[in-house]
Amino acid sequence: MVTSVTDTTSVPGRTTTGTATVVGGDFDTFLKLLTTQMQNQDPLNPIDSTDYATQLATFSGVEQQTRTNQLLESLSGQMSLIGMSQLAAWVGQEARTDAPVWMDGDPVTVQAEPRASADRVVLVVKDAQGVIVARDEIDPAGGEFQWIGTDATGAALPDGVYSLSVESWRDDQVLGSDPVQSYGRILEARNGTAGTTLVLEGGVEVASDRISALRVPF
């Protein structure tokens, strides 16, 4: 009897399909079938010994491949646990990423990198609906600064998630728009089929490979 496997695998005289397998336990059964095949072969047209050797080699190869797959699955699971244990130390820290940022009145540390030839740079702020709610002139050199979350009149923006970008200008012409990185506190780390996802303040979700820096909150 052959249990199920993830892939469809051909074994002399049968095919097995399913989700997991242990072929090693069926090796004796295979030998019995092979012996029966030899006993009942046509004496006038016997099966070539090379065919027997090929069948044995095929079965042995399938058995070895299955055991290798099981080992890899086990190692993958262990590495996943190791990765989560390491990420657990990230929770509570602040991560720098180009994902949207949560604003609740506290200044947010922002990292802007305008185009090198820009003589004027504008920080563009959009709300969760994609509407521009603020355009603030910043230092053309860019770098790190504190965004206090105000609109064009200087009034505080409502608590919420905002997307930040910088427009680089030169001689009154737009050179381009680039994303801005900002720091947000990590609240949770999730492991799924698409990889590890970090949940920041405000429910902002970002893949762990998009984190460019970590720091301890001030």
Burial of residue 193 (CB within 10 Å: 0-12, 13-18, 19+) is exposed
Q: Are 30 and 10 in contact (CB under 8 A)?
A: no
Separation of alpha carbons 180 and 129, rounded Å = 18
Question: Per the structure block, which two tokens stand in for 47?
Answer: 């099966």
Under the banding of pLDDT at 50, 70 and 90, the label for residue 9 is very low
Which of 152, 103, 153 is closest to 128 using CA atoms? 103
In eight-state DSSP terms, residue 150 is B
Three-state secondary structure of 176-198: EEEECEEEEEEEEEEEECCEEEE
In eight-state DSSP terms, residue 156 is B
For 21-33, b where at least 16 C-beta lie within 10 A, e where not — what string? Answer: bebeebeeebeeb
Q: Are 188 and 66 in contact (CB under 8 A)?
A: no
The domain defined by 103-180 carries CATH number 2.60.40.4070 = yes
Under the banding of pLDDT at 50, 70 and 90, the label for residue 16 is very low
Under the banding of pLDDT at 50, 70 and 90, the label for residue 209 is confident
Angle of CA points 76, 61, 37, to nearest 5°: 140
Summarize pLDDT for 80-108 with one digit per residue, the tens.
555 667 777 888 999 999 999 999 999 99
In eight-state DSSP terms, residue 89 is T
Is the pLDDT higher at 1 or at 71? 71
**pLDDT at site 122:** 95
Percent of the chain with pLDDT over 70: 65
**pLDDT at site 169:** 95
Q: Are 70 and 3 in contact (CB under 8 A)?
A: no
Q: Name every residue whose Cβ is closer than 8 Å to that of residue 212 and which is 6 or more positions away in sequence.
A: 96, 97, 181
Q: 21-35, 55-69, 80-94, 116-130 — which is least confidently predicted? A: 21-35
**pLDDT at site 31:** 67
Summarize pLDDT for 124-147 with one digit per residue, the tens.
999 999 999 999 999 999 899 999
Q: Are 173 and 179 in contact (CB under 8 A)?
A: no
Distance of CA 206 to CAs 68, 96, 115, 193, Å?
Answer: 34, 10, 25, 14
Helix/strand/coil for 26: helix
> Does residue 192 surpass a pLDDT of 50?
yes
